Amino acid sequence: MRVYLRYAVRETFSNLWRNRMMTIAAVLTVAVSLSLVGSALLLKQSAAQASAQWQQGTRVTIWMQPTATTAEIANVQSQLANLPIVKRCEFFTQQQDYNEAIKILPPSESKVLTVAAMPPSFRCVPTVPANAFTVEATFSNQPGVYQVTAPEQQIREMNHAIRVLQIVFLALAGVLLLSATVLILNTIRMAIFARRREVSVMKLVGATNWFIRIPYITEGFIQGLLGSAVAIGAVTALHTWYPLHNEFQLSMSALLGTNAVVLIVGVLIGSVGSAIAIRRFLDV
């Protein structure tokens, strides 16, 4: 067994090195296609996260002027209390809004904020989502009100954009994954061709089929693995630096899940590519 392990590892790496140009091409194609898959998955989760927040959370926010007087705030508050289409409301002081902003915004933006510049706000849940627009119309021009935002529409538009983007990403990824598989298949075929003398001697002296095949399977497997490693790096970078991350607060587990999918798909296409090559070109 030890002998075989040493043999298989040696063969695998010498094959990878011998066909290094093809290996690089295959690994890069796997990496690009899996990066697209990973991004599509992250986008999907971002969208789901955004929708979930919107479902349970605020639908209408009435932002007061930072300079609004206590009387103006009390006026808005009493009106909201008497409005039947509003289920419940919560008042956020300037300090509370400031704390929230610090949490949500990246440090580069949040550090210019001060408590005094923050608008106090009412976070209201209307009885039905459509009423958000009535609330918006009622309060937009009242004294002391800075702005009324109903994120429903925005989120809807964003979700739509994300869905389109996701379909485009996945379609591209599909095509690229296919070509990655073909590239891996071709690398393995070349490796088999380069070793045809060895292979024929091995068959002659009675090496078992798996003994002959395994180095080529591991070769494809490693190409898939390398490709997904690069893709995982790209997806993690995207997760860390892309602004969507901050708005939707994707959790670490979402990233890990995405990376797991990327890894599995990468290893899978590597193995499938080499399995096909072996079936077709390594007749033992």
Partner 1 sequence: MIRFENVSKTYKNGTPALKDISLDIEKGEFVFLVGASGSGKTTFLRLLLREELPDQGRILEAGRDIGELPKWRVPYLRRNIGCVFQDFRLLPNKTVFENVAFALEVIGRPRTTVESQVPQILELVGLTDKSNNLPGELSGGEQQRVAVARAFVNRPLILLADEPTGNLDPANSESIMALLERINRTGTTVVMATHDKALVDRMRRRVVELDRGEMIRDQVRGVYGIDEGVTL
x-or-dash pattern for partner 1, window 145-174, by CB under 8 A? ------------------------------
CB nearer to partner 1: pick between 14 and 159: 14
Nearest CA to 172 out of 38, 269, 276 is that of 38
Residue 245 interacting with partner 1 (CB under 8 A): no
C-alpha span between 174 and 167 (Å, rounded): 10
Residue 85 identity: I
CB nearer to partner 1: pick between 28 and 194: 194
Nearest CA to 42 out of 239, 278, 253, 274 is that of 239
Residue 206 interacting with partner 1 (CB under 8 A): yes
* Residue 200: CB minimum distance to partner 1, A: 7
Kindly tell me the burial class for residue 240, based on how many C-beta atoms sit within 10 Å of its own C-beta (0-12, 13-18, 19 or more): exposed
* Binding residue count for partner 1, defined by CB under 8 A: 17
Q: Which one of 137-145, 171-179, 181-189, 197-205 is the stretch in contact with partner 1 (CB under 8 A)?
A: 197-205
Residue 116 interacting with partner 1 (CB under 8 A): no
Q: Which one of 109-117, 164-172, 195-203, 239-247 is the stretch in contact with partner 1 (CB under 8 A)?
A: 195-203
CB nearer to partner 1: pick between 201 and 264: 201
x-or-dash pattern for partner 1, window 60-99, by CB under 8 A? ----------------------------------------
For residue 203, what is the enclosing H or E element?
Answer: helix 196-205
**Long-range pairs, 3-9, Cβ under 8 A, ≥24:** 4/211, 7/215, 8/214, 8/215, 8/218
C-alpha span between 247 and 45 (Å, rounded): 12
* Residue 3: CB minimum distance to partner 1, A: 6
Q: What is the DSSP string of 250-265?
A: --HHHHHHHHHHHHHH
Residue 9 interacting with partner 1 (CB under 8 A): no
